[in-house]
C-alpha cells in the first residue's frame, strides 16, 4: 500500500470553508474592538470596557484572521496543523465564559448570537475536523522545512507553561487575578482574558513539542501580529493602567519581550536557511 506524499496532505475542504467564513467575521470584530472601540461598545456582543480589554481582544482576532488566511492561501496541512487545537481551547474558554456570564451579554444584538454560535459550537466540532485531517498524515511524515534549536523549543515550552497557568487562574479564580491585574477587569473580562492567554500558551507548547519550522512559521507570524498590536495598545490605552503597580511594568515588559523573541526567531531561521 502506498501513502500520500507530504505535498498531497492538504487542508480538507470543510476546514477551508470554515476558514473562509471566519476570516471576514474576525476582521469585522477587529475593527469593532481595536480602531473603532466606540462602535464595539454600542454594537459588540456586550459593551466591553475599558479600552485596553477591547484592544486586546481585537488584536487577538486580527492574528486569527491572518492564520485562517494562511489556511486558505497555503492549504498545506504542515503549515497550519499545530494551530487548530490551541484555537479550540481559545474558543472553548470563551464558550465557558459565555455560559457563566450569560446575563452580561446584550442578547438583542445580532453580534451576540454570532458570538454564541461560534463559541458554543466551534469547540465541539473543530477537534473532530482536525483529527480527520491529521489522519491523512499516517505513514507520510510531513516536511519540516528546518528545525527550531533545542534552546528555542525549551523557551517556548516554558513560556507556554507560564501563559497556560495564567489563563487557568484567570478562568478559575478571576476575583483573585482581578486584584493584581494592570487594568480594571470584571469576572467576565477576566475570563475573556483567559482565552487570550491560553491561545499563545498552547501554541508555545505545540511548537516546543513539534519543533519544525514548517509548523511554527505562520503561527509565529500570527502571534507577532497580535502581540505587536497589544504593545501598541499599551501606549494608546496607557491611561487604563495602574503604573504604580509592578504588574503594569511586568505586563509591558513581557509583551515587548515576546515580540522581540519572535522577531529574533524569524531572523535566526532565515539566516540558517541562507
Cβ atoms 129, 15 nearer than 8 A: yes
H helical segments located in the chain: 13-33, 37-43, 51-74, 77-80, 84-100, 110-134, 150-172, 174-178, 187-210, 213-236, 246-273
Q: Which three cell numbers stand for residue 55?
A: 484592544
Q: What are phi and psi of 2, to 5 degrees?
A: -100, 150
What are the angstrom distances between the C-alpha of 95 and each of 136, 222, 259? 29, 22, 28
Q: Which three cell numbers stand for residue 35?
A: 480602531
Ranges of each domain in the chain: 6-273
First to last CA, the chain: 37
Cβ atoms 45, 106 nearer than 8 A: yes
CA nearest neighbour of 207 among 138, 169, 261? 261
**What are the pLDDT tens digits along the chain (274 aa)?**
344 445 579 999 999 999 999 999 999 999 999 999 999 999 999 999 999 999 999 999 999 999 999 999 999 999 999 999 999 999 999 999 999 999 999 999 999 999 999 999 999 999 999 999 999 988 788 889 999 999 999 999 999 999 999 999 999 999 999 999 999 999 999 999 999 999 999 999 999 999 999 999 999 999 999 999 999 999 999 999 999 999 999 999 999 999 999 999 999 998 887 6
The count of other CB atoms within 10 Å of the CB of residue 89 is 20
CA distance 225 to 63: 5
Q: What are phi and psi of 3, to 5 degrees?
A: -110, 160
CA distance 52 to 157: 27
Q: Which three cell numbers stand for residue 21?
A: 467564513
Amino acid at each position: 500500500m502506498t501513502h500520500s506524499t507530504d505535498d498531497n496532505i492538504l487542508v480538507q475542504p470543510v476546514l477551508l470553508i470554515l476558514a473562509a467564513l471566519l476570516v471576514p467575521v474576525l476582521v469585522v470584530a477587529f475593527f469593532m474592538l481595536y480602531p473603532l472601540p466606540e462602535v464595539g461598545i454600542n454594537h459588540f456582543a456586550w459593551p466591553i470596557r475599558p479600552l485596553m480589554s477591547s484592544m486586546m481582544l481585537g488584536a487577538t482576532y486580527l492574528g486569527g484572521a491572518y492564520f485562517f488566511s494562511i489556511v486558505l492561501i497555503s492549504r498545506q496541512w504542515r503549515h497550519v496543523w499545530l494551530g487548530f487545537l490551541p484555537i479550540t481551547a481559545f474558543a472553548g474558554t470563551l464558550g465557558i465564559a459565555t455560559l457563566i456570564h450569560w446575563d452580561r451579554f446584550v442578547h438583542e444584538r445580532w453580534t451576540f448570537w454570532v458570538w454564541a454560535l461560534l463559541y458554543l459550537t466551534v469547540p465541539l466540532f473543530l477537534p473532530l475536523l482536525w483529527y480527520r485531517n491529521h489522519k491523512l498524515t499516517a505513514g507520510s511524515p510531513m516536511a519540516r522545512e528546518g528545525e527550531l534549536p533545542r534552546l528555542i523549543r525549551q523557551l517556548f515550552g516554558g513560556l507556554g507553561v507560564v501563559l497556560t497557568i495564567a489563563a487557568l487562574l484567570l478562568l478559575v479564580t478571576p476575583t483573585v487575578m482581578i486584584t493584581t491585574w494592570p487594568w480594571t477587569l470584571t469576572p467576565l473580562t477576566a475570563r475573556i482574558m483567559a482565552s487570550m492567554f491560553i491561545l499563545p500558551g498552547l501554541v508555545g507548547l505545540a511548537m516546543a513539542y513539534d519543533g519544525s519550522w514548517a509548523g511554527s512559521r505562520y503561527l509565529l507570524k500570527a502571534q507577532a501580529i497580535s502581540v505587536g498590536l497589544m504593545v501598541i495598545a499599551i501606549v494608546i490605552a496607557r491611561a487604563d493602567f495602574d503604573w504604580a503597580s509592578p504588574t503594569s511594568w511586568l505586563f509591558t515588559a513581557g509583551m515587548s519581550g515576546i515580540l522581540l523573541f519572535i522577531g529574533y526567531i524569524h531572523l535566526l531561521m532565515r539566516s540558517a536557511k541562507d
